[in-house]
Amino acid sequence: MKTMAELDPLRQEFLEQTAQISWRELQPYYARGAVVLVAPGMDLVEIAAQLRLDNKQRFEEWLAEGKVSGVTDAVAASLFEENPTVWAVVVAPWVLVQRITTDDA
């Protein structure tokens, strides 16, 4: 991972705004259809930056590869049951969410 000083202002902004939150606190955003799941191992800040830059082609690739996805009812039910703490960053109107892995700890 790059240090803060190595990031451009856009990515610095998203890095500063990325925080941990429990899934159940995000449920109002899920109900609005605003949550986008990012696969573990992906660079959440880079995905936020590409979303802000409206990089449609890159996003379509990530969607096709399953690296970003919406939240299905089944996944939401599982997340509700488990209520994990996740990484989240807002790229209005979306909230990008990524499960925390042991590598993040």
Partner 1 sequence: MSIKVAIVPVTQYQQNCSILKCESSGKAAIVDPGGDVARILDAVAQMDATVEKILLTHGHMDHCAASDVLRAQLAVPIEGPEREDAFWIDKLPESCQMSGFPHADAFVPDRWLEDGDTVTVGEQTLQVFHCPGHTPGHVVFLHEGQKLAWVGDVLFQGSIGRTDFPRGNHADLVASIREKLFPLGDDITFIPGHGPTSNFGHERKTNPFVADENYG
- Give residues in contact with partner 1 (CB under 8 A): 24, 27-28, 30-34, 70, 72-74, 76-77, 80-81, 92-93
CB of 5 to partner 1, least distance (A): 33
CB of 57 to partner 1, least distance (A): 18
Q: Find the helix or strand (DSSP H, E) in which 69 lies.
A: strand 68-69
Quote the DSSP letter at residue 54: T
Give the C-alpha separation, 52 to 91, whole Å: 7
Distant-in-sequence, close-in-space partners of 1: CB < 8 Å, separation ≥ 6: 43
CB of 4 to partner 1, least distance (A): 29
Query: Based on CB atoms, which residue is closest to partner 1, 7 or 62?
Result: 62
